Structure 1
């Protein structure tokens, strides 16, 4: 059993044992797990290695690319604007971003962007990762596109462009970029070590993610011009893209947030605790209620899985059997990172790692940790 650092309430001993076992076996290389209840940490554990060579330990302040868990923080930024009366979920996106009305998108609503139902789940090809890192140019390209399905009729996971779309609303309403807004309005006030757009002086704290096992050929035989194929290949990049300085510096609100489990749990404790944490008020109960308004329920056009989306977050569905029913919202990151918010238990759970695992909505390790955490909460 590997040594862990941090703190853990006795009732969460099974969570600690799982992490220690997975680190000892090599299933996890380096990782952190955090659980908060009523905003207070009851689990804050980390251990293992920050590098594949096993030279640098995973430390308290180690951070890594959390992939699509970034989307939850991006969503929270939009919800802060909703709370302040500056963003209307039922308004056309074009009210704030006139160019977005092009090519039949005048009816796309703000709630469609936040629930992956806008019809714009990726870029028209050809497009490269370098193109996506040029956020102003690649965002303008999205505004000029034709939707790939009738907006609002189904979800199609906005894999890499979610932050471009939502972040542009933030920028046009507030004037600040998404990363700066998050830093000044969310993570700064909460004291959370999370970054969308990482400064160079923080690079030495980053644990590079290790690519997951090769994906099954899930797109074999798929329509080359279908929604899934266009989304996954526009662009198609590997996990090692996140090792590059250009990736770290960019503000990719769908995929390049850097943080750890502690920071993700801290941020999302605001939702778990009714919108206020340690005197920082970001949301009201009414805005939190909007998260749980179901916007779609069925096979996702990109991922293929049966998903339910609310506003900005996934809701429990057949695709995530490790989540109990209840007033729960969540999302995962490629390879296994996850953040789960339970407003009934007033709990937030997060897991962040550098050895990416197989699986579409979390890895086998993700399921282990989340199930153990809920068993302790119950």
Structure 2
């Protein structure tokens, strides 16, 4: 049985067992597409099958996309990591946030790690409202101090900085700097109405009493790159393929020195590090390499188990999407089986 057949069998078996509803797996190596696989269904009814073009809500996987955009702007000289946020976003400079740098934001040290509770669900995905609220907010911890994962605020903070620094809307920056160079048309923050027909829904049947907000149109059509991106595995894998080696089919988005800088662990000397935890970050990217070379593998996972990453050593770039919520998160047996088959370390994120 060849490698492609083994990987497809993993997807088929996990769907047949009920562990997963639908999933996609796309693998590049040394910049070339090796496998584009899918199995399963678009929702819990198991009536409509997915294909390689089906879009999935990918939660925090989108953070890796906006992180890449920030590093592109830094390479182009549009912003610098140690610039104060107020250089581009003056109204942010209040209530103890005056000295926040872009580096603080990228390394999850901005101190605004919780979405302000006064915001409604709809307001959390309204760009203008959430941006103004964060600009006026009081930090929850010392700016530039210990790391706190900015689960719902990271994408807004980075996105607004990108907009202000470049003088263009976030969607335009994404298109010009990532989507067009890589010829990607299956990656969205703010899903257009006509694309909902091609969207897989989150299968939350294992949590029957939980509201699945990320199936709701007002959430997915809004804008918050922290969590409401919709894309397929092909777009994710192609993005990460463009960050290592010769790029994706020869298209390289970031230089080696930029990637090396972005994948160094950001941690204070007195800050404990649990290598068994997913919470290990460079400048925006989550780091998932082995203990002796933690920055070897980098990317980002998402709440339902989707992920994207690149491995500098092996040359693999992987995109994986899935739509069933699992009680084992952030451990996902399907991902682990794929990793074992590819000869890669397992990831917990």
Q: Provide the TM-score with structure 2 as the length reference.
A: 0.89
Q: How many residues align?
A: 340
Structure 1 unaligned segments of length 5 or more: list them.
Answer: 1-8, 216-237
For residues 340 and 280 of structure 1, the distance between their equivalents in structure 2, rounded to whole angstroms, comes to: 17
Alignment CA distance shift 1:167-1:239 (3 Å): farther
For residues 188 and 86 of structure 1, the distance between their equivalents in structure 2, rounded to whole angstroms, comes to: 19
Structure 2 unaligned segments of length 5 or more: list them.
Answer: none
The alpha-carbon deviation at position 212 of structure 1 amounts to 6.9
For residues 67 and 118 of structure 2, the distance between their equivalents in structure 1, rounded to whole angstroms, comes to: 28
Alignment CA distance shift 1:137-1:104 (3 Å): same
CA deviation vs aligned residue, 1:19-48 (integer Å, no higher than 9, x gap): 121011111111101111012121210011
CA deviation vs aligned residue, 1:189-244 (integer Å, no higher than 9, x gap): 212221111111111000111127459xxxxxxxxxxxxxxxxxxxxxx6622222
- Which residue number corresponds to residue 88 of structure 1? 80
For residues 317 and 177 of structure 2, the distance between their equivalents in structure 1, rounded to whole angstroms, comes to: 20
- Which residue number corresponds to residue 346 of structure 1? 315
1:117 to 109, 113, 123: 109
Contact 2:57 2:202 in 1 (8 A): yes
- Which residue number corresponds to residue 204 of structure 2? 211
Alignment CA distance shift 1:195-1:306 (3 Å): closer
The alpha-carbon deviation at position 54 of structure 1 amounts to 1.7
For residues 166 and 358 of structure 1, the distance between their equivalents in structure 2, rounded to whole angstroms, comes to: 31
- Which residue number corresponds to residue 77 of structure 1? 69
Q: Provide the TM-score with structure 1 as the length reference.
A: 0.83
Contact 2:289 2:296 in 1 (8 A): no
Contact 1:315 1:328 in 2 (8 A): yes
Alignment CA distance shift 1:166-1:30 (3 Å): same
The alpha-carbon deviation at position 140 of structure 1 amounts to 1.2
For residues 279 and 212 of structure 2, the distance between their equivalents in structure 1, rounded to whole angstroms, comes to: 28
2:130 to 138, 145, 166: 138
For residues 55 and 371 of structure 1, the distance between their equivalents in structure 2, rounded to whole angstroms, comes to: 31
Alignment root-mean-square deviation, CA: 2.7
- Which residue number corresponds to residue 107 of structure 1? 99
